[in-house]
Copies of this chain bind each other. A is one copy, B any other.
Amino acid sequence: MNDEIKPSDLVDGLRKGLEVILAFDDASPQMTQSELALRIDLSRAAARRYLLTLTALGYMASDGKNFWLTPKVMQLGRSFTASSRLPRTIQPELQALTERCGESTNFAVLEDTEAVYVCCANANRLLSTGIEPGTRLPAYTSTAGRLLASFLDDHALDRWIKKSAPRAHTTFTVTEPATLKREIMRMRKQAYGITESQFEPGLRGISVPLRDSANNLVGALSVSMAVSAMTASSAIKKLVPLLNETAARLAQKL
């Protein structure tokens, strides 16, 4: 297939419509047509059309002034989890893993410089990680993200780090490219990753790679926990084997 795509092959209405959906987030849970037009590059008339379209389709609701998303948009996200074998296979194993170790676990893939969390099994604790299916974090701040990046070849890794443009999310975030690279290289050697307080203070992640039966890298399994729960070394000693065990079992099913 030709991967050069000409403008005439792109359906613009779709692109903009999806942008509209993504424009709604934590910071602006509801918007008027003019606010939306301002936020993404659209004339007010166009913004209006897109909002009305989404409303007619049931993806949006409105009080006549403000517009907001309805639960129906979740159906889109579920389209992936329903269609892909990956989450269906992994989810139950994650839950079993969570039960065994008592901490929240998840499965993430790397998409460019972002770590996308595909499945999650939250431990029933008061302190919740805020990670849910679909969450995207800058990969250089995430254990899974760094671990997955560690499988890039040397040149690609350099470019990746540059593209990531690391900035400090906490006072501990590693932003110096050389240091970050060293950390990532160590993960490659160790075949597991651990980070602490890189995105959220007090949060520790431990991660191992997940491969399919053909030994292709498909993503990373992680445990998220409070640093205060135990020391880093005992966390590694306890959790890495459990993670690897799960990864090994999954490898046969994938």
Contacts and interface: CB of A to CB of B under 8 A. Distances in A.
A92 B22 contact: no
Given A71-B118, A124-B121, A79 B11 contact: no
A95 B127 CA distance: 10
A80 B85 contact: no
Contacts of A180: none
Interface stretch (A61-69, A140-148, A228-236): A61-69
Q: How large is the interface on A (under 10, 10 to 19, 20 to 34, 35 or more residues)?
A: 35 or more
Given A17-B13, A53-B9, A59-B18, A126 B72 contact: no
Interface stretch (A131-139, A163-171, A186-194): A131-139
Count this chain's copies in the assembly. Answer: 2
B26 A57 contact: no
A111 B72 contact: yes
A150 B30 CA distance: 30
A16 B14 contact: yes
Contacts of A81: 74, 132, 134
A96 B128 CA distance: 11
Interface string A91-129: 110011011000000000101000010100110111010
Residue from the set A17, A49, A124 with the largest chain B CB neighbour count within 10 Å: A124
B13 A11 contact: yes
Contact of A22 (B11, B49, B79): B79
Among A49, A64, A79, A91, find the residue whose CB has the most chain B CB atoms closer than 10 A: A79
A18 B81 CA distance: 16
Interface of A: 1, 5, 9-18, 21-22, 24-26, 28-30, 48-50, 52-54, 56-59, 62, 64-65, 68-85, 91-92, 95-96, 98-99, 109, 111, 116, 118, 121-122, 124-126, 128, 132-136
Given A74-B80, A74-B81, A133-B133, 20 more contacts: A10-B56, A11-B53, A14-B18, A14-B57, A18-B59, A21-B79, A22-B75, A22-B76, A24-B80, A24-B82, A25-B83, A29-B84, A69-B79, A71-B116, A77-B77, A78-B134, A95-B122, A96-B124, A99-B124, A124-B124
